[in-house]
Amino acid sequence: MSHADTIFALATGAGRAAVAVLRLSGPNCAAVIRSLAGTLPTPRMATLRTLRRGDGAALDRALVLWFPGPRSFTGEDAAELHLHGGRAVIAAVGEALAALGARPAEPGEFSRRAFLHGKLDLTEAEGIAELVEAETEAQRQQALAQAGGLLARQARDWAGRLTTLLAQEEAAIEFAEEDLPSSLDGEVRAGAAALACEITAALADGGRGERLREGLDIAILGAPNAGKSSLLNALVGREAAIVSARAGTTRDVVEARLDIAGVSVTLADTAGLRDGADEIEAEGIRRAHRRGEEADVVLALFAADAPPDGETLAVLGRRRCLVLLSRCDLAPSPLPATVAGEPALAVSALTGQGLDALRARLEEEVASRAGGGSLLTRPRHRAALEDTARHLAAAADAPVPELVSEALRQASQSLGRLSGRVGVEDVLDVVFGSFCIGK
């Protein structure tokens, strides 16, 4: 990948459409547009032009937009061609661009160039990717906030304060003979401790941002014929799983996607838990147990018209579950309020009884695990900030100023990994700008 190349890519979906948009960026973008459209349009103004090949043959009548750098998304000279959306038109213009020396862009290359030219930091670039991938309203809101710089702004604030602390400690060490405050080292240590506490508080979000971005898993566990497949179908509103009175019909995990409280959720119907199954069904039961261990939420299903089975009761003993009494329309009243001491909700996939209450409980569970408002949306963010907080805590407790400075430097590097920018010139600027040393 060479950043000296001029690149192009289709910015709209593949297939026939009324309009297709080709984006270009790179140092030779102006020359390419002149060759295709005759002259450069007025910057940032859509202009109707006839695009022509090198031999003068017309390619299309298109709207051309010209974005001279650095006032463009990538920071380079850039352009957009709004073409008619036929495949032949797109192919012909692409061939003409390649003949003029441009090349097809690699995945993410426009955003990468924007990062390299200082238009985005890594968290904002990740937000753009998350916005493209968003499936639910809550994911869209979180991705839009990230792309808009929510974490980037907070990271810049932390980085600015950390840079000041490091500059002050360096000054206290290197210029001890100068007229600097004697309390400077203590103030730096206190500042490092306060910053560590602030970052630790941001980390204590339970992973909500990552879960919202990635989605949650809900597993339905229970004995054969407890009504697991019927419940899954009722919740997703379609026949996603085969329903049969024959025990052991579900032998593998059956998944369905749905939106709960704005969070993308994978609902899994699993093989019925029982002893004495054949080899194939036993593998399905093993997978059911594994899915239950890995799931964010487990629905433990007991048939209301039968005694609680021991296998599902064992699941309750290992982890917290939402306990359901299924097929409540077939059971005599009154139904028990609890199973093994856990509150139980009666539901019927056939009549719909209890389903609204179950959906409300699921919304509460999902919102508690993956609600919006978190700064962190990726494990990379968490790892960088955990390292930063650890180094800041070490700085606050270091026995000598030299170790305080080294810990602050490591904290700065860890925080720089968050945004993708690590520099030392900022420290020098603060040292010489704030303390006016050597005047």
Residues in the annotated binding site for (6S)-5-formyl-5,6,7,8-tetrahydrofolate: 23, 80, 119, 439
| Cα atoms in the 13 Å half-sphere on the side-chain side of 353 | 15
Q: Which amino acid is at 217?
A: D
Kindly tell me the sign of the dihedral angle through the C-alpha atoms of 44, 48, 50, 51.
positive
Residues 24, 93: contact at Cβ < 8 Å? no
Q: Is 312 helix (H, G, I), strand (E, B) or coil?
A: helix
How far apart are alpha carbons 1 and 8 in whole angstroms?
Answer: 13
| Cα atoms in the 13 Å half-sphere on the side-chain side of 382 | 14
How far apart are alpha carbons 359 and 235 in whole angstroms?
Answer: 8
Number of C-beta neighbours around residue 4 at 10 A: 7
Q: Which amino acid is at 411?
A: A
For residue 347, with 0-12 CB atoms within 10 Å meaning exposed, 13-18 middle and 19 or more buried, which class applies? buried
Binding residue ranges: 23, 80, 119, 225-230, 244-250, 269-272, 439
The residues with which 220 forms a beta bridge, in sequence order, are 269, 299
Binding residue ranges for Mg(2+): 229, 250
How far apart are alpha carbons 319 and 312 in whole angstroms?
Answer: 11
How far apart are alpha carbons 251 and 226 in whole angstroms?
Answer: 14
Q: Which residue has the tokens 């380079």?
A: 76
Strands of the sheet with 103-104, listed across from one edge: 47-52, 58-67, 78-85, 17-25, 7-10, 103-104
Q: Is 303 helix (H, G, I), strand (E, B) or coil?
A: strand
- Nearest CA to 432 out of 167, 245, 130 is that of 167
The DSSP 8-state label assigned to residue 119 in this structure reads S
Distance, C-alpha 172 to centroid of its chain: 41
Residue 129 has φ and ψ, to the nearest 5°, of: -60, -40
Residue 344 has φ and ψ, to the nearest 5°, of: -120, 140
Binding residue ranges for GTP: 225-230, 244-250, 269-272
Distance, C-alpha 335 to centroid of its chain: 43
Length of the chain: 439
Residues in Cβ contact with 230 at an 8 Å cutoff, skipping those fewer than 6 apart = 243, 326, 349, 350
Which helix (H) or strand (E) element contains residue 339?
strand 338-339
